[in-house]
Amino acid sequence: MNINHTEYPKTLKNKSDDSLRYIIKDCRETLAVNPNGSKAGYYMDEIHYCAMELKARADKAAKA
């Protein structure tokens, strides 16, 4: 499974902060169980994109 590095981040813009945190938590738990699984890279990408979106929102709020 490959992540679409262009489209996936766009889908996160409409998700709540809680949803983004849930995705991160879920991916981390999955990786803890099977860190070398065939989808490990996908889950790591999801974590990074969700974290990037949360940081962008925090930065935007700090500037407001």
Q: What is the pLDDT of residue 20?
A: 98
Q: What is the pLDDT of residue 1?
A: 74
What are 11-64's pLDDT values in tens digits?
A: 999 999 999 999 999 999 999 999 999 999 999 999 999 999 999 999 999 998
Amino acid at 49: Y
Q: Angle at which helices 17-33 and 40-63 pack, to 10 degrees?
A: 150
Q: What is the pLDDT of residue 64?
A: 86
Using alpha carbons only, give the angle 50, 17, 60 rounded to the nearest 5 degrees.
85
CA distance 5 to 15: 17
Helices (H), the chain: 7-12, 17-33, 40-63
Q: What is the pLDDT of residue 44?
A: 97
pTM to 2 decimal places: 0.93
What is the chain's length?
64
